[in-house]
Amino acid sequence: MIPFDFSYYKVWSAEEAVLLYHSLRKKGIRPYYYAGGTELITLGRVNEVHADAVIDIKGIAECKTLQLEHGRLIMGAALPLAKIRESGLFPLLGQTIGEISDHTARNKITLGGNLCGHIYYREAVLPLLISDTEVVIASRSGKRSVPLHSIFDRRPQLEEGELLVQLHVKSDDLELPYYTRKKRRQWDIGYPLITVAAVKKDEKFRVAISGLCPFPFRSESLEEILNDRRRHPTARIEQAIRHLPEPISSDVEGSPEYRVFVLKNTLLDALEALEGEGHEHS
């Protein structure tokens, strides 16, 4: 049971959502964009999340769009992960999000919720960080479209009350050769020890990682070392791991040393898969 009362609002446009958010805030009410609502239910129960009002964004048509248009795949932020996976439109994203929680939860958890929520793994962002991705954001001053990498630093850096409306991925990036692997300590379902998503684009290896640190990341310096093909993959990986961001997570899933060990093996698999030929399907 959620141990606090809140009012419920349903909105039909991004503009309405943002205006309502700010008018509630002005009255001292703490609003919460309600997409899949799974964080409110799971973290609300243990008082890690609190809301006085929820603004349900699932009625906003542009937040539910899923289509190819003008050379881009348009994905609404309120799409459930299961729907994106089942569409088969972006195989790397589909396979990566297919490892998040279980099917029942994936029918609820949304793309925007995975990116903007409190739980920091944000595995759905990995394929988006290594693709040419634009995000559409609604704020009080209207909508703007910006490259994902320009606003993503550990999490989407949104101002209070800003709404993530859509993600646009260039069609060329949907069918790149890819590798994606989630490694857990022991169970089939659960948070990652290490998740790696990688693509080969213009003969260059791009990689994004979750689970290693308490935030997901893509690192240019790491990629530069991994792309130096004059050296053997294991030598590149040994050097690359000296450039990892900090801190490395330490929890029941694994120590920092164990995580780095698993990362090295996973990167080697990824390099072997992508420096060979073709798509990788596990």
Ligand X SMILES: Cc1cc2nc3c(=O)[nH]c(=O)nc-3n(C[C@H](O)[C@H](O)[C@H](O)COP(=O)(O)OP(=O)(O)OC[C@H]3O[C@@H](n4cnc5c(N)ncnc54)[C@H](O)[C@@H]3O)c2cc1C
Binding positions for ligand X, rule: CB under 6 A: 32-40, 42, 57, 77, 100-101, 105, 108-110, 112-114, 116-117, 119, 121-123, 163-164, 191
Query: Which is closer to ligand X, CB of 138 or CB of 237?
Result: 138
Task: Tell the smallest beta-carbon distance from residue 234 to ligand X (Å).
Answer: 29
Query: Which is closer to ligand X, CB of 52 or CB of 279?
Result: 52
On whether the CB atoms of residues 202 and 278 are closer than 8 A, the answer is: no
268 by Cβ neighbours in 10 Å (0-12 / 13-18 / 19+) ranks as: middle
Sheet holding 142-147, edge to edge: 66-69, 72-76, 163-170, 133-139, 142-147
How far apart CA 238 and CA 120 sit, in angstroms, is 27
Task: Tell the smallest beta-carbon distance from residue 33 to ligand X (Å).
Answer: 4
Query: Which is closer to ligand X, CB of 58 or CB of 201?
Result: 58
How far apart CA 133 and CA 114 sit, in angstroms, is 16
Query: Which is closer to ligand X, CB of 38 or CB of 131?
Result: 38
Query: Which is closer to ligand X, CB of 33 or CB of 205?
Result: 33
Task: Tell the smallest beta-carbon distance from residue 279 to ligand X (Å).
Answer: 23
Task: Tell the smallest beta-carbon distance from residue 69 to ligand X (Å).
Answer: 20
Task: Tell the smallest beta-carbon distance from residue 249 to ligand X (Å).
Answer: 14
How far apart CA 110 and CA 112 sit, in angstroms, is 5
Give the N- to C-terminal CA distance of the chain in Å, as an integer. Answer: 39
